[in-house]
Structure 1
Amino acid sequence: MNRLIVISGCSGGGKSTLLAELGRRGYPVVEEPGRRIVAEQTRSGGGALPWVDMTAFLHRVIELARRDLKAASPSDKWIFLDRGLVDAMAALQHVTGEPLLKALAGEAQHYHQLAFLVLPWPEIYIQDSERRHGLADAMAEYSRLLEAYPALGYDVCIVPKATVVERADFVLGALRTRMRKLFA
Structure 2
Amino acid sequence: MEKEIIVLIGGPSSGKTTLINALNQKGYICYPEISREVIQKAQQDGIEQLFLENPLLFSELLLQGRINQYHQAKSEASEIVFIDRGLPDVIAYMNFIGDQYPDAFHQACLSHTYSKVFVLPPWEEIYTSDNERYESFEEAVQIQLHLEETYKQYGYELIHVPKDTVEKRVAFLMDFIQK
TM-score using structure 2 length: 0.88
Structure 2 contact 120–161 (Cα < 8 Å) conserved: yes
Matched with 1:49 is 50
Structure 1 contact 27–77 (Cα < 8 Å) conserved: no
Moved more, 73-82 or 161-170: 73-82
How far off its partner does 1:54 sit? 2.1
| Aligned counterparts of 1:67 and 1:61: Cα–Cα separation in 2 | 10
Structure 2 contact 14–120 (Cα < 8 Å) conserved: yes
> Which runs of structure 2 are paired with 1:27-42 in the superposition (5 Å)?
27-42=28-43
Matched with 1:180 is none
| Aligned counterparts of 1:17 and 1:47: Cα–Cα separation in 2 | 25
SS of residue matched to 1:6: strand
Aligned: 1:111 with 2:114: yes
Moved more, 92-101 or 136-145: 92-101
| Aligned counterparts of 1:127 and 1:49: Cα–Cα separation in 2 | 17
**Relative to 1, partners in 2 of residues 1:106 and 1:14: Cα closer, same or farther, differing over 3 Å?**
closer
5+ residue gaps, structure 2, are: none
- RMSD between aligned residues: 2.2
| Aligned counterparts of 1:67 and 1:109: Cα–Cα separation in 2 | 10
Q: Residue type of the partner of 2:87?
A: L
Q: Residue type of the partner of 1:110?
A: T
SS of residue matched to 1:107: helix
Structure 2 contact 91–150 (Cα < 8 Å) conserved: no
**Relative to 1, partners in 2 of residues 1:45 and 1:71: Cα closer, same or farther, differing over 3 Å?**
farther
Q: Residue type of the partner of 1:107?
A: L
Aligned: 1:65 with 2:66: yes
How far off its partner does 1:99 sit? 7.9
| Aligned counterparts of 1:98 and 1:117: Cα–Cα separation in 2 | 24
Structure 1 contact 4–111 (Cα < 8 Å) conserved: yes
How far off its partner does 1:59 sit? 1.5
TM-score using structure 1 length: 0.86
| Aligned counterparts of 1:55 and 1:90: Cα–Cα separation in 2 | 13
The list of structure 1 runs, each at least 4 consecutive aligned residues, that deviate by more than 6 angstroms after superposition, is none
How far off its partner does 1:44 sit? 3.3
How far off its partner does 1:28 sit? 0.9
Q: Residue type of the partner of 1:60?
A: L
Count of residue pairs brought into register by the alignment: 176
**Relative to 1, partners in 2 of residues 1:99 and 1:146: Cα closer, same or farther, differing over 3 Å?**
farther
Matched with 2:135 is 133
